Amino acid sequence: MSEDGKKLKELVDGMRTAMLTSTEPDGALRSRPLTVQRVDEDGTIWFLVTTSSEWLSTEHLATCNVAFVSDDAWVSATGGARLVQDQAVLDDLGDPISNSWFTSDDPPAALRVDVEHADWWTAEGKLRRLVDMGRAAFRDTQPDVGDRGVVHP
């Protein structure tokens, strides 16, 4: 398990929704919200998706971006994705609420995103940021806007 993978998992812990962006055949970028099922310590991000979605073709998933946002952290992760239809993986990722989105006519597949690079930013809560901005304006300095980093799981 890489330290960078652990850092990515720590950064997005508790963020249940992410925007996944992939490329259309015409080169256009398209994004969709997906529920995060799990983030592994090696930086792998897992979602459950319906197998009938048009955007799930291999060429659309060769390069993708997963964006996470919370009140105090922002993460933009890029890598490649692929569908996994192994029943053991589906059983492990599924839960009664997630499984309710799928039918026998439109079964789930696991979408595995293997993150190669992630940029991240963190900052204290909103009140702390406001105080820092006010202090910086009063002192004619730049506010401390938090930390920034890059990981390569």
Q: Are 112 and 153 in contact (CB under 8 A)?
A: no
Side-chain-side CA neighbours of residue 53 (13 Å): 22
User: 55-84: b or e for each residue (b if 16 or more CB lie within 10 Å)?
Assistant: ebeeebbeebbbebeeeebbbbbbbebeee
**pTM confidence score:** 0.84
Task: Provide the residue-wise pLDDT of the chain in tens; the chain has 153 residues.
Answer: 589 999 999 999 999 999 999 988 788 899 999 999 999 999 999 999 998 888 887 677 889 999 999 988 999 999 999 999 999 999 999 999 999 999 989 999 999 999 999 999 998 655 455 555 555 566 676 655 668 888 899
